Chains A and B, each alone.
Chain A
Amino acid sequence: MIALVGPPNSGKTTLFNRLTGLRQKVANYPGVTVEQHLGMVNLYDGRQASLVDLPGVHGFSARTLDERVTRDVLEGKIEGMRSPDALILIVDVTRLEAQLMLVEPVLEMDLPTLLVLNMVDELEARGGSIDQEVLAERLGVDVVRTSARTGIGVEEVRAYLHKVACGDTSVEHIERELSNLAGSRALPVIDAFAARRRLVRSVVQDAGFASPRPSRLTEKLDSVFLHKVWGPTIFLAVVLLVFQSIFTWAVPLMDGIDWIVGTSGEWIAAALPDTWYRSLIVDGVWAGVGSVIIFLPQILVLFLFLGILEDSGYMARAAVIADRTMYRLGLQGRAFLPLLSGYACSVPAILAARTIEDERDRLATIFVTPFMTCSARLPVYAILIAAFIPNEPVLGPIMNQQAATLLGLYGLGVVAAIGTAFLLKRTLLKASPTSFLMELPPYRIPAPRTLLLRLLDRSKIFLRRAGRIIFAVAIVLWVLTQFPRAQGGPPDIEQSALGTIGHVIEPVIEPLGFDWRIGIGIVTSLAAREVIVGTLGTIYGVEEADEESLALQEILRRDIEPGAAIGLLVFFAFALQCMSTVAVMRRETAGWKWPALQFFYMLLLGYLGAFISFRIF
C-alpha cells in the first residue's frame, strides 16, 4: 500500500483521481472517525497497487482530527490496515517553500518517498523554475514534476508505483542533518520548526528555485472578492445562489426520483403475491428507502456548488469574510461551510467541519449544525403551513403569511444556533482565545473530473449512512403496525403496537396540545423528520399522503388546534429528529456524550418551544 500525503490545496485528490479513476472506494475502519479513500492503480504488468488518499495536512502534530488520522495511517496504527510501503508527498510547487515544511516530518517516517512537484505548468507560466535533480539529490528521494490537472507527469508517478511494487526502492540516508536537529523532541517547539525551515531554505536554494511571479489573476480577483463593499455583496449573492439551487434546481430531479420510487413500488407490488411480506417490502422498505433517496438531488446540487467554490479557491475567501461575524458568535470562519451545507443535510455538513483546527470550535460547530433548516424539515413545514396558515399578504404584495412563516422558521433555527453557540463557548467549550489562520490558494478553474468523482463519493456516503438507518427503522415501524394481529390480519392503527406507544407517550405531549396520533408521528420521525408526513397519512387513513395532499390537510385542520400546529412547527425547527445525525455525531466525537447532550438539549428546546407556542396561539 502506498499513501498519498500533502498539504491542503496541493492537488492531492486530483492526482489520486488521475491515478485511480473509478477504481476507488471509501473504506471505514473501526475506531477511525475519518474515511479512508482507497483506490487501485493499474501498473504495467497487469498488477495493481493500492493507494490511500489522506486528508490534507500541514504537519503531524495531531492537533486536528485530519492530522491525527494521517499520522495514525502513516505509523500503521489503524486496525485492519497495513502500514504503507511507500509515501507520495505532493506539494504545490508554486508555493514550494511553505509547502515543503512537510518534507522533514515525512522523511522522518523512513519510508521510500516520492516527492511530486505539482502544478509545474503554473510555475513555468509565471516565470518560476526548479532543478528537480538537485532537489532529489539533497533530499534523497525521487522527484517528479506533474500537473495533475492536465495529466503531465502522471505516468512517471505510475512508474514509481511500479517500482515500489517490484520492491525496487530503498530509503537513502543522504540528508539527515535535520533529524539531528529536529528529531530530538526535547528542543523547544519553535527550534524544531526553525530547523525544518532552515533545511527547506537551503535545499530550495541549492535547487535553484526561482519563485514564480505573484499571480496577477489572484491579485485582481482578491481585490474584488475581499473588497470592503463588493466582498460581502458577492458573498451574500453566492449564499443566495446556493440556496436557490437547493430549492429550485433540485426540485425537478426530486420529482423524478419520487415518481420512479412510486412507480417501481407499484410494479413490485404487482409482481409479488398478496402475502405479508409484500406489504413489508413495498410499504416498509421501498417507501422508507425512497423517502431518503429523494434528498439525493439536493445533496448533489449542493455539493456540486460547494465543490466548485472550494476548488476555485473562493471558499477560503468566503471563510475569511465570514470569520469576523462567526468569531463574535463564538465560532470561526471555517464553520461557514458546514453551516451552509446544513441547509441541505446535517450529515455531510458535520463531516465538512473536520477542517476546523480548534477542537472546541469544531464541537461547537457540529453541535449547532442541526439547527440549520435541513431539507428533511421542508415536507413537514410544507404540509402544516399549507393546512394552518392562511395565504394572505403581509407587508403588501411582497410576501404572504405562508412564506413569512417559512422564513420565520428558518430564522428560528439561526437564532437557536447563534444562542447555543454563544452559550456553549461560555460554558462547556470555554476556551482561551482561539486563532484563525486560513491559507488562500491561488484561484484556479476546477477540474470537472475531480468534481464529478467527489459527487459520486458524497452520494455513496450519504446513501450508505442514511440508507442503513432508514432501512432498519422502516422494518421496525412496519412490524409495529402489524401486531398484535386482529382476525389474522393487521390491526387498526390505534390497537397496534405503534398505537399503544402513541397512547403511552400521550400524557407527556398533552401539554403541547398533541394527541396520540402526533405522538406516533414524533416517534416515527425520530428516524427522519419527513417520515411524520407519511405516518400521519397512514394513521388518518389518507392514501398517498404527501405534503401536497389536500385530504390530509383537511383532516389535520379538523383534528389539531392551530396553536398545537404552530407548536409542532416549532418542535420540528428545534428537535433533533434524525438518527442519521445522531449516528454521525457519535462517530465524529468518538462517544455518546456529545450526541446525547445534543439530542436532549434540542428535544428540550423543541418541547418548550411547542409548549409556549400552544399557550400563545
Chain B
Amino acid sequence: MQLPAVAEQAHIEDLRLGDVPMQQEVELVSIDLPVELAEPLLERGVLPGCRICPVQSSPGGDPVVSVDGSLLALRRETADCLCVRLVSPFQDVG
C-alpha cells in the first residue's frame, strides 16, 4: 500500500540506527551529532549515503554494525543520533 508522501517523510525522519533490527541493511541519511562527536564516524567512512547493517548486539545492548566491510561498535546513544532509511537489498549501490 502506498503511504501518503507526508507520512512517509515523517516515518523516514523517525527511523534511527538504534531501532533497526539485526541484519537489516539501511542507508545513513544524516548524523545528528556535534562535529567533534561526528568526526570520528566520518573518518571511518560513516557518512550520509553509506550502507550500514547492524550485525551484533553487545552484552550491554550496544550495536555492532558493519560498514564497508569494517565492524564498528557504537554506543546506543550514538546509534540513536544516526538517522537512517530502509533500502531494498536489491537496489543498486551507488
A and B physically associate:
yes
B57:A226 contact, CB within 8 angstroms: yes
Pick the contact of A437 from B35, B47, B69, B73 — CB < 8 Å? Answer: B73
Task: Answer whether residue B38 sits at the interface, using C-beta atoms and an 8 A cutoff.
Answer: yes
Q: Which residues of B contact A441 (CB under 8 A)?
A: 71
Q: In this complex, which of B41, B61, B75 has the most chain A Cβ atoms within 10 angstroms of its Cβ?
A: B75
A436:B59 contact, CB within 8 angstroms: no
Contact with A along B37-60 (1 / 0, CB 8 A): 111111111011110000111111
- Chain B nearest CB from A62 CB (Å) reads 11
Task: Answer whether residue A197 sits at the interface, using C-beta atoms and an 8 A cutoff.
Answer: yes
Q: Which residues of B contact A435 (CB under 8 A)?
A: 33, 37, 40, 74-75, 77-78
Given A61-B43, A357-B40: A437 touches B58 (CB 8 Å cut-off): no
Pick the contact of A58 from B36, B44, B55 — CB < 8 Å? Answer: B44
Contact with B along A170-208 (1 / 0, CB 8 A): 000000000000000000011001100100100000000
A324:B62 contact, CB within 8 angstroms: yes
The size of the chain A interface, using a CB distance under 8 A, is 49
Q: Considering the chains assembled together, what is the distance between the CA atoms of A62 and B10 in angstroms?
A: 38
Which residue on B lies nearest to A197, using beta carbons?
B47
B74:A436 contact, CB within 8 angstroms: yes
Task: Answer whether residue A211 sits at the interface, using C-beta atoms and an 8 A cutoff.
Answer: yes
Q: Considering the chains assembled together, what is the distance between the CA atoms of A228 and B56 in angstroms?
A: 11
Pick the contact of A189 from B39, B66, B78 — CB < 8 Å? Answer: B39
A59:B59 contact, CB within 8 angstroms: no
- Chain A nearest CB from B43 CB (Å) reads 4
Q: Which residues of B contact A433 (CB under 8 A)?
A: 37, 77
Contact with A along B68-94 (1 / 0, CB 8 A): 111111110110000000000000000
A320:B78 contact, CB within 8 angstroms: no
Q: Considering the chains assembled together, what is the distance between the CA atoms of A129 and B42 in angstroms?
A: 26
Contact with B along A146-160 (1 / 0, CB 8 A): 000000000000000
Task: Answer whether residue B34 sits at the interface, using C-beta atoms and an 8 A cutoff.
Answer: yes
Given A214-B69, A222-B64, A440-B71: A63 touches B40 (CB 8 Å cut-off): yes
Q: Which of A92-100, A413-421, A486-494 interfaces with chain B?
A: A92-100
Given A63-B40, A437-B41: A194 touches B69 (CB 8 Å cut-off): no
Q: In this complex, which of B41, B44, B58 has the most chain A Cβ atoms within 10 angstroms of its Cβ?
A: B58
Contact with B along A315-329 (1 / 0, CB 8 A): 010001101110100
Q: Which residues of B contact A189 (CB under 8 A)?
A: 35, 38-39, 42
A61:B39 contact, CB within 8 angstroms: yes
Task: Answer whether residue B67 sits at the interface, using C-beta atoms and an 8 A cutoff.
Answer: yes
Q: Which residues of A contact B72 (CB under 8 A)?
A: 437-440
Q: Which residues of B contact A84 (CB under 8 A)?
A: none
Q: Which residues of A contact B70 (CB under 8 A)?
A: 95, 98-99, 439
Report A63-117 residues with CB < 8 Å from chain B CB.
63, 94-99, 101
Q: Which residues of A contact B58 (CB under 8 A)?
A: 226, 231, 320-321, 323-324
Q: Considering the chains assembled together, what is the distance between the CA atoms of A98 and B56 in angstroms?
A: 19
Q: Considering the chains assembled together, what is the distance between the CA atoms of A96 and B4 in angstroms?
A: 40
Given A197-B45, A214-B66, A320-B64: A438 touches B73 (CB 8 Å cut-off): yes
Task: Answer whether residue A232 sits at the interface, using C-beta atoms and an 8 A cutoff.
Answer: yes
B69:A212 contact, CB within 8 angstroms: yes
B42:A193 contact, CB within 8 angstroms: yes
Q: Which residues of B contact A244 (CB under 8 A)?
A: none
Which residue on B lies nearest to A232, using beta carbons?
B59
Q: Which residues of A contact B77 (CB under 8 A)?
A: 433, 435
- Chain B nearest CB from A68 CB (Å) reads 14
Q: Which residues of A contact B68 (CB under 8 A)?
A: 95, 97-98
Q: Which residues of A contact B38 (CB under 8 A)?
A: 189-190
Task: Answer whether residue A227 sits at the interface, using C-beta atoms and an 8 A cutoff.
Answer: yes
Q: In this complex, which of B38, B43, B72, B75 has the most chain A Cβ atoms within 10 angstroms of its Cβ?
A: B43
Pick the contact of A63 from B39, B57, B71 — CB < 8 Å? Answer: B39
- Chain A nearest CB from B20 CB (Å) reads 17
Q: Which residues of B contact A194 (CB under 8 A)?
A: 47-49
Q: Considering the chains assembled together, what is the distance between the CA atoms of A288 and B44 in angstroms?
A: 48
Task: Answer whether residue A28 sits at the interface, using C-beta atoms and an 8 A cutoff.
Answer: no
Q: Considering the chains assembled together, what is the distance between the CA atoms of A554 and B67 in angstroms?
A: 65
Q: Which residues of B contact A231 (CB under 8 A)?
A: 58-59
Q: Considering the chains assembled together, what is the distance between the CA atoms of A433 and B36 in angstroms?
A: 11
Task: Answer whether residue A391 sits at the interface, using C-beta atoms and an 8 A cutoff.
Answer: no
A432:B69 contact, CB within 8 angstroms: no
Task: Answer whether residue A223 sits at the interface, using C-beta atoms and an 8 A cutoff.
Answer: yes
A-to-B contact residues, CB < 8 Å: 58-59, 61, 63, 94-99, 101, 189-190, 193-194, 197, 200, 211-212, 214, 218-219, 222-223, 226-229, 231-232, 316, 320-321, 323-325, 327, 357, 432-442
Identify 8 residue pairs between A and B in the complex whose beta-carbon atoms are under 8 Å apart, listed by A's number: A98-B67, A101-B44, A190-B47, A194-B48, A194-B49, A323-B58, A435-B37, A436-B78
